[in-house]
Structure 1
Amino acid sequence: MTHTVVTAARTVLFATLSLTFAAQVSASDTYPSRPIRVVVPVAAGGWGDASTRIVAQRMAEELGQPVVVENRTGAGGLLGIRHTKAEAPDGYTLMSTGGTIAIQQALSNDPGYDTLKDFTAVGSMVRSPAIVVTSAASPYKTMPELIAAARANPQKISYGSAGVGTTTHIAAEMLLRKAGVKMMHVPYKGNGAAMPDVIAGRVSFMIDAYGSSASNIGGGRLRALGVTSDTPMNALPNVPVVASEGVPGFKYYYWLGLFAPAGVPPDVVAKLSGALKKALSDPKIEARLQSDGTENAFMAPAEFSTFLRKEVAETASLINDLGLPKE
């Protein structure tokens, strides 16, 4: 090959690399240039959906593009999770979910994804303690009364959940295990389907997020027996923590994080994480979330990734200990 040909080849290669780099820089500089979609793998109206919408609206202001929430439900959250995994890693499809992503991976014979390999951790968002709720007409006025009845009648007192393997199911099983009692599990297709039977007293109790039970508690249809946080909630100052009501050491928090398909460019992840942090730091957003019993729990990508590794391992161990069958 002659010197002239070599020089020409180098020139073409340099020009190609320069154009590629320029395109990448341009894409990075202009991101986002169109609306961003956030998949929520649960039905509209629940705590996870409502919290995501509040944060997404504020993120849109930071990013200068609409951030549209899309509910994609089914199979206990698996449909939405798998859908997000298969989307292009360009930062235009995200997902908001919490413990469900670790639970379904541990419960399914073939979940269709690996949390740590198939997703990019953008950042954690919020957390909220759970509430142990029963019908306002229930004979159980306190947690100790409910636990005593369960101890005297193993597997005869029932509790409802949003479905096998959901966070409401796992939280209740953790509570019963800690209390040393057994109850009959009645799974429903979502919290919304379970709530009428809790209110009517057809099941004795359910564990739910404050945001989705608050209206029924305030309206006198539900009685809150305890909260699963370390300290009482500001929104329910007269409701004791479960740990002080016969289940010492027990605590449980629902959490939400923002995910993207694996392979999203680091600068795009940084831009999204920065917008998320600013949204959660907005005093108006914090006040709005706190009114629903929710608190800012932001973690940057690296810290959130560490949290996820621990969550996936501990959830798999817990489900194995509980003896829940894989499906």
Structure 2
Amino acid sequence: MSQSIRRRLLGAALAIACAGGIGQARAAYPDHPIRLIVPSSPGSTLDLVARTYAPTLSAGLGQPIVIENKAGASGITGTREVATASPDGYTLGMVSSNHAVNPSLHKHLPYDSIKGITPISIIGSTPLVLVVPGKSPYKTVDDLIAAVRAHPGKINYGSAGTGTALHLAALLFASKADLDMVHIPYKGGNPLITDLISGQIDFAFLGTPSVIAQVKAGTLRALAVTTLHRSELLPGVPTLNESGLKGYDYDPWIALIGPPGLAPALTHKLQQHLHQALSRKDVQKQFDVQGFVATGGTPGQALATFKRDIESSAALLKAAHVKTLD
């Protein structure tokens, strides 16, 4: 055999060996820590959810998951970092229902809300509750609706900011009941709750866990929950659907995403390990305390949810004549 033929055969053997090594490296994912970008501040609902399931997900994958809080611009700051990351599975992110609202609120998003990310799974949802001050004259949803209709443009409600889940829940309420009410946006939920308790505002939609103590103490009164099923935390409180607003269903979600171009095999692996983490009883118990409902789901289901809510959010904001923020 000639020396040139031997060199060609050796080169081919080395190429095959290298290809096999690459395949093994890919199969070994993950082999170093994974970043999880949480686009909100420490202590937020997103952050609490992340810190509840991440340790179990980490154990299943066999690598540490390092949570990085990247708050700002309704989640845009953190999501942009995920959208521009390498699709190698070592940078993941979380998004909330704000992800579906942002395309209608911002003219120049730095990424495409569908094509600019890879949906992995819906993690779960945080049901909301319609609350009024404890001393409010409104005892039922009918009482509140009657008051708004009797005084159009006078009854006000608060939210944690334009385009937040709390705002969208109220817009859906106004749309279903054909109401004219005044929106007062706050910079976060805590000042909103303070003013609601003192009677500075008439009502608000808030996360059930954030007001459960005040409802039990009587400083706030729960009129209805926003989901089609009653909350286990407030079993005596009816749904808005039961209260006469047929079909009312607003259930803000949280999802796990990756960068665009994340390989289907990695997406599937992450989704499967997330599902296993969410299925653990100890994780579910922690979520129950937080008022978070873990659901899980496939990448396809997450994508369908994103598309559906981008469309429905746009319709609500347009009907309410909400202006873009930039």
Given the two structures, how large is their TM-score scaled by the length of structure 1? 0.90
Measured in 1, the distance between the counterparts of 2:110 and 2:5 equals 48
Match of 2:18 in 1: 19
Match of 1:71 in 2: 69
RMSD across aligned positions (CA): 2.3
Task: Tell me the SS of whatever aligns to 1:134.
Answer: strand
Match of 2:130 in 1: 132
Residue 210 of structure 2: which of 201, 212, 215 is its match?
212
Q: Does 1:314 align with 2:312?
A: yes
Task: Tell me the SS of whatever aligns to 1:60.
Answer: helix
Match of 2:321 in 1: 323
Measured in 2, the distance between the counterparts of 1:24 and 1:215 equals 54
Tell me the percent identity. 32
Deviation at 1:295, TM superposition (A): 2.1
Residue 242 of structure 1: which of 240, 244, 247 is its match?
240
Deviation at 1:232, TM superposition (A): 1.7
Task: Tell me the SS of whatever aligns to 2:59.
Answer: helix
Measured in 2, the distance between the counterparts of 1:285 and 1:298 equals 13
**Equivalent residue runs for 1:70-89 within 5 Å:** 70-89=68-87
User: Greater CA deviation, 175-184 or 136-145?
Assistant: 136-145
User: Greater CA deviation, 306-315 or 96-105?
Assistant: 306-315
- The answer as to whether partners of 2:125 and 2:251 remain within 8 angstroms in 1 is yes
- The answer as to whether partners of 1:45 and 1:212 remain within 8 angstroms in 2 is no
Measured in 2, the distance between the counterparts of 1:142 and 1:217 equals 14
Deviation by residue 1:150-190 (Cα, 9 ceiling, x = unmatched): 11111211111111111111111111111111111111122
Measured in 2, the distance between the counterparts of 1:159 and 1:198 equals 9
The 3 A distance-change label for structure 1 pair 12 and 221 is: farther
Whichever residue aligns with residue 92 of structure 1, its letter is Y
Match of 1:186 in 2: 184
User: Greater CA deviation, 269-278 or 50-59?
Assistant: 50-59
The 3 A distance-change label for structure 1 pair 14 and 157 is: farther
Measured in 2, the distance between the counterparts of 1:120 and 1:197 equals 39
Whichever residue aligns with residue 292 of structure 2, its letter is T
Deviation at 1:238, TM superposition (A): 1.1
Measured in 1, the distance between the counterparts of 2:23 and 2:196 equals 54
The 3 A distance-change label for structure 1 pair 134 and 13 is: farther
Match of 1:151 in 2: 149
Task: Tell me the SS of whatever aligns to 1:149.
Answer: helix
Whichever residue aligns with residue 28 of structure 1, its letter is A
Deviation at 1:58, TM superposition (A): 2.0
- The answer as to whether partners of 1:76 and 1:163 remain within 8 angstroms in 2 is no
Q: Does 1:122 align with 2:125?
A: no
Deviation at 1:227, TM superposition (A): 0.5
The 3 A distance-change label for structure 1 pair 207 and 21 is: farther
Match of 1:201 in 2: 199
Task: Tell me the SS of whatever aligns to 1:160.
Answer: strand
**Structure 2, unpaired ranges of 5+:** none
Measured in 1, the distance between the counterparts of 2:234 and 2:10 equals 70
Residue 256 of structure 1: which of 254, 257, 265 is its match?
254
Measured in 2, the distance between the counterparts of 1:263 and 1:17 equals 26
The 3 A distance-change label for structure 1 pair 233 and 107 is: same
- The answer as to whether partners of 2:168 and 2:313 remain within 8 angstroms in 1 is no
Deviation at 1:108, TM superposition (A): 0.8
Whichever residue aligns with residue 318 of structure 2, its letter is N
Deviation at 1:196, TM superposition (A): 1.5
Deviation by residue 1:221-269 (Cα, 9 ceiling, x = unmatched): 3221110121222211111111222423211101111001112233322
Whichever residue aligns with residue 11 of structure 2, its letter is V
Deviation by residue 1:55-76 (Cα, 9 ceiling, x = unmatched): 2222122122222333221112
- The answer as to whether partners of 1:47 and 1:212 remain within 8 angstroms in 2 is no
Deviation at 1:28, TM superposition (A): 3.1
Deviation at 1:105, TM superposition (A): 1.6
- The answer as to whether partners of 1:209 and 1:254 remain within 8 angstroms in 2 is no
Deviation at 1:119, TM superposition (A): 0.7
The 3 A distance-change label for structure 1 pair 5 and 148 is: farther
Match of 1:170 in 2: 168
- The answer as to whether partners of 2:101 and 2:309 remain within 8 angstroms in 1 is no
Deviation by residue 1:117-160 (Cα, 9 ceiling, x = unmatched): 11111111112321112222323222211111111111211111
Q: Does 1:97 align with 2:95?
A: yes
The 3 A distance-change label for structure 1 pair 131 and 309 is: same
Measured in 2, the distance between the counterparts of 1:230 and 1:140 equals 22
Measured in 2, the distance between the counterparts of 1:170 and 1:292 equals 21
